[in-house]
Amino acid sequence: MADEAWKQGTIVWYTLRGLNQSLDREVTKIEPVYAPRKTAENTAPSQPAPVKTSAEKTLWIHLVDGARFKVDAVDETAGGAWYHRGTISVFVDRERIARIERDEPASAPSGFRGRDWSSGNSHIDHLIKSNADRMRLDPYLVFLVIEQESHFRIRALSPKGAQGLMQLMPGTARRLGVKRPFEAADNIQGGTKYLRELMDMFGGQVNLVLASYNAGEGAVLKYGRNVPPYRETREYVKKIGKRYGLSGRQPQDDNNGPRR
């Protein structure tokens, strides 16, 4: 019995005691075992079969922080919703969802055409796209990092001092030349520059880039260029990575570890 299971293409992945693994044999059925529901996003109920929407509709999930993104199909439950995007299926808790909309193509919000995500702020969307293009990054990855880091709150400040949309620590911001970390343009410019540095350092391995963004590149190097065994970092990589479409085995957590 697994804690969680999902399909990515023809491969079935499952989580057992915090460890992600894949099955190398054919799976005929994934059957849920019902128990009292936990609130954490990563303990979602077993995945129901995708519900296809009309090809003539555009399906958007709006989060409570103002972000929204397009999906291929969605299946709502009492506790939240499974959304399906390409070969990826992800569960989102009900409290994170503001609404789910199905729009005719002609009535999709202006500026959304050719893009399947939005922060809910056209200026921030433009900054994400332009800086991602300049730094040769996927804008959707930058969008996911900001959504996870600050929920698009420009003046976000963490208890450990991380600042702004991309939650830059003061020392990192100074090194990147960011003088106004609570200005969206400066913060995103610095954050995407940092992501580019990490991409170059770790050969484009997104899981290591995300781990470094959360815990610092020193921690990743300390553990042999692997995701450090910090619970916070493992959850960070898992949450963003699953939405982005990453897959692969991650070792078990053993401690929380410091924020970079």
- How close are the terminal C-alpha atoms of the chain, in Å? 36
Q: Phi and psi of 68, rounded to 5°?
A: -155, 150
Do 153 and 120 form a contact (C-beta atoms < 8 A)? no
Are 34 and 67 within one domain? yes
pLDDT digits over 150-194, tens only? 999 999 999 999 999 999 999 999 999 999 999 999 999 999 999
Are 103 and 147 within one domain? no
Tell me what pLDDT residue 16 has: 56
Section 97-104 average pLDDT: 81
Helix (H, G, I), strand (E, B) or coil at 55: coil
Are 90 and 154 within one domain? no
State yes or no: pLDDT of 112 exceeds 70.
no
257 part of a folded domain = no
Structural domain range at position 39? 4-107
29 part of a folded domain = yes
Say which CATH number the domain at 225 has. 1.10.530.10
Do 236 and 210 form a contact (C-beta atoms < 8 A)? yes
Are 155 and 101 within one domain? no
Do 120 and 143 form a contact (C-beta atoms < 8 A)? no
Tell me what pLDDT residue 249 has: 38
Are 102 and 127 within one domain? no
State yes or no: pLDDT of 215 exceeds 70.
yes
The Cβ of residue 153 has, within 10 Å, a number of other Cβ atoms equal to 14
Are 70 and 127 within one domain? no
Are 25 and 128 within one domain? no
* Active-site residue, 104 included: no
Are 131 and 101 within one domain? no
pTM: 0.68
200 part of a folded domain = yes
Question: Cα(216)–Cα(137) distance, rounded to whole angstroms?
Answer: 19
State yes or no: pLDDT of 85 exceeds 70.
yes
State yes or no: pLDDT of 147 exceeds 60.
yes
50 part of a folded domain = yes
103 part of a folded domain = yes
User: What is the overall mean pLDDT for the chain?
Assistant: 80
State yes or no: pLDDT of 30 exceeds 80.
no
Tell me what pLDDT residue 110 has: 40
Output 256 or 232, whichever has higher pLDDT. Answer: 232
Are 100 and 125 within one domain? no
Task: Please identify which of the residues 149, 183, 197, 235 carries the catalytic annotation.
Answer: 149
Are 125 and 208 within one domain? yes
Domain count, the chain: 2
